[in-house]
Amino acid sequence: MKTALTIYQRELTAYFTQPTAYAIIVIYLLLSMGLTFTFGGFFRVGDANLAYPHFYWNPWLFMLLAPAIGMGLWSDEQRTGTIELLGTLPTSTWSAIVGKYLAAATVCLVAIALTFPLWISVNDLGDPDNLTIFSGYLGSFLVCCTFLAITMLVSAFTRDQVVCLIVSVAICVLMVMIGFDTVVIELTKILPEGGVEPFIAFGVWDHFNSLMRGAFRFQDFVWFASIIVASLFGTSAILTARRS
């Protein structure tokens, strides 16, 4: 597992020596602040817990930005052939998966953490429940990690970053949209009977909403953890299969 740490350090340095991480973090901050102060009605709503003004927007942003963070994770490695280098070093596929995944998750953690002026402002202006705010941050991070894990799984399938980006955005958008009744109604029309239920189980809002409002529910953590772990195991299986 020491090699997982070495891989993590390399990946994280790579994010920050290239423009990728900066571009994504800056765009995230601009958009999330923009939405908070316009549509989110930061001043108008007077919700010091930040749920609707701020956290509500995160799944919408991460469904686009998490794939952008993670699209290169394995596709680049396969395109440039460095996977052959990694595969012949004395380390396991699993260490590489964990190291790379945690590096991507760190980028998203940095992005989320940099919204801290908002947290300072609400404490300055009002009297928020800081535990609820923490819960909102945790929920946002978990949503981003879930989307990242899915992106990583997709990136194991292809050596093309653009294909990976498009496919993972499509999956993440579906996971966000499935939470809306109008979308479910339309889908019911297209899909055969009983075809919608499996999709609904993949909706993020059920699990994100409760965290956003400050409710820690065991089932939500199980949901996030199982999607992440399943995606990582899937990545390992795909990478092994593609080598032979």
Partner 1 sequence: MIDVKNLTKRFGPKLAVDDLSFAVKKGEVLGFLGPNGAGKSTTMRMVTGFSPVSTGQIEICGISMIDDPQTAKRKIGYLPESAPLYNDMTVTSFLNWIAKMRGLSGSTRKEAVAKVIETCFLEQVARQSIDTLSKGYRHRTCLAQSLIHDPEVLILDEPTDGLDPNQKHEVRKLIKELGKEKAVLFSTHILEEVEAACTRAVIVDQGKIVADGTPSELKDQGNGSLYDLFHKVTTTDAQAAAA
**Is 92 a residue that touches partner 1 (CB under 8 A)?**
yes
**Is 243 a residue that touches partner 1 (CB under 8 A)?**
yes
Helix (H) / strand (E) element for 213: namely none
Structure tokens that stand for 202 in this block = 């993949």
**Is 82 a residue that touches partner 1 (CB under 8 A)?**
yes
Identify which of residues 7 and 25 has a Cβ nearer to partner 1 in the complex.
7
**Is 10 a residue that touches partner 1 (CB under 8 A)?**
yes
For residues 2 and 225, give the distance between their C-alpha atoms in angstroms, rounded to a whole number.
Answer: 23
Residue 228 and residue 145 in contact, taking contact as beta carbons nearer than 8 Å: yes
Identify which of residues 34 and 87 has a Cβ nearer to partner 1 in the complex.
87
- In the chain, what is the greatest distance between 2 CA atoms, to the nearest angstrom? 60
Contact region for partner 1 (CB under 8 A) — 2-10, 32-40, 116-124, 230-238?
2-10
Work out how close the CB of 37 gets to partner 1 at its nearest, in angstroms, rounded to a whole number: 35
Site mask, partner 1, residues 17-36, x = CB under 8 A? Answer: xx------------------
Q: How many residues does the chain have?
A: 244
Contact region for partner 1 (CB under 8 A) — 4-12, 42-50, 110-118, 172-180?
4-12
Among 89, 131, 222, 229, binds partner 1 (CB under 8 A): 89
Amino acid at 211: L
Amino acid at 71: M
Contact region for partner 1 (CB under 8 A) — 83-91, 131-139, 150-158, 162-170?
83-91
Among 33, 52, 91, 209, binds partner 1 (CB under 8 A): 91
Contact region for partner 1 (CB under 8 A) — 13-21, 38-46, 101-109, 152-160?
13-21
- Side-chain-side CA neighbours of 197 within 13 Å: the count stands at 3
Among 7, 66, 108, 227, binds partner 1 (CB under 8 A): 7
Neighbours of 60 (CB within 10 A): 14
Q: Which residue has the tokens 């919408």?
A: 60
Helix (H) / strand (E) element for 82: namely helix 82-88
E runs forming strands in 24-132: none
For residues 72 and 58, give the distance between their C-alpha atoms in angstroms, rounded to a whole number.
Answer: 22
**Is 121 a residue that touches partner 1 (CB under 8 A)?**
no
Structure tokens that stand for 43 in this block = 């001043």
Contact region for partner 1 (CB under 8 A) — 42-50, 62-70, 210-218, 236-244?
236-244
**Is 85 a residue that touches partner 1 (CB under 8 A)?**
yes
Identify which of residues 17 and 182 has a Cβ nearer to partner 1 in the complex.
17
Which whole-number Å values give the CA distances from 122 to 27, 156, 207, in the listed order?
A: 22, 42, 25
